[in-house]
Amino acid sequence: MPSDHDVSPISSPALSRINSRNSAVSSLDISPISSPVFSPTQLSSSGHGAATSDTATTNSFERSFTDADDWFGRFREDLDISDECPDRGQLAVAGQVPVYDANGNSRLFSTFFTGLDAIGDRQFIIFVRHFYCGACQAYMKAIAEEITMQAYYTMAVPTNIIVIGCGSPSMIPFYKQATGCPFPIFAEPSRKLYKALGMSITLNMSGPKRPEYMKDIPLTKWQMQQWTTMAKQKGTSRFKGGNLLQVGGEFLFQDGQVVWCHRMKNMRGHAEVSIVKRVLEMED
């Protein structure tokens, strides 16, 4: 029996079979995606992602994300999902899913929009993607800029606004600092709530056009930003942001029911801030 280190030449018949299989595989065009975060040329000997050269690292990241953008280009088609409001059955399932605050304390999702714990006449709930997503961070910054605290407290119909992400509760302080979000932020890492409310996963990064809330942020820039942000995290924190393929949406509740909703169809597919303000009946 050959040893583990046996490196004897492959016989011609075997080599022919391998070449035949390789030809079949190459015809499928499944070129691998480079991984900028874990590339050994970019990690220091300590393994914490310290670059040997800032310029070299930046150029390497840019090349990696250009390659990734080309590869993901084949998945440009938006998700085929509707913005139909969830029915009572869906809400009953969603309502039993626990969500967590930054301290890890849980509460059922239903407490946000039914019973004595529901705040305001309406509840507007924004579901973001993973906590490292630069597109969602840009969206929350735009929301915070347009819906100021003064505007929030003087809305014609008192509306409570909260944000839910699909990562670890321990990432909430990071997210609040990164976005400047003034609204309460919670986490639902199991993603059962996302599924119950009809939100899905996708490989489509960009959609047909750049949204207004990302008008100054090119696709490659926010791709690179979220990966570099993850790479800078210490220990296991870089893996606690949440599922990278999950997309979110926005839901407006009133009297315990969803009266309006929007589900993301790609990774930067949040409802435009202007639409949100119109739905919330806010004056421009």
| pLDDT tens-digit readout, 176-215 | 999 999 999 999 999 999 999 999 999 988 777 888 888 8
Confirm if 134 and 225 have CB atoms less than 8 A apart. Answer: yes
CB 62 within 8 A of CB 56: no
Determine the average pLDDT of the residues in 151-157: 94
How confident is the model over 215-229, as pLDDT tens digits? 887 666 666 666 677
Residue 57: pLDDT above 50? Answer: no
Task: Provide the pLDDT for residue 233.
Answer: 73
- Kindly report which listed range (44-58, 105-119, 228-242, 249-263) carries the lowest average pLDDT score: 44-58
SS3 171: helix
State residue 25's pLDDT score.
Answer: 34
Query: Is this model's pTM higher than 0.95 or not?
Result: no
pLDDT(5) > 70? no
The string over 39-66, giving b where at least 16 C-beta atoms fall within 10 Å of a residue's C-beta and e elsewhere, is: eeebbeeeeebebeeeeebeebbeebbe
CB-CB contact of 118 with 249 (8 Å): no
| Share of residues in the chain with pLDDT > 90 (%) | 56
* Domains detected in the chain: 88-279 (3.40.30.10)
User: What does the radius of gyration of the chain's CA atoms come to, in whole angstroms?
Assistant: 23
- Closest among 136, 129, 131, 123 to 95, alpha carbons compared: 123
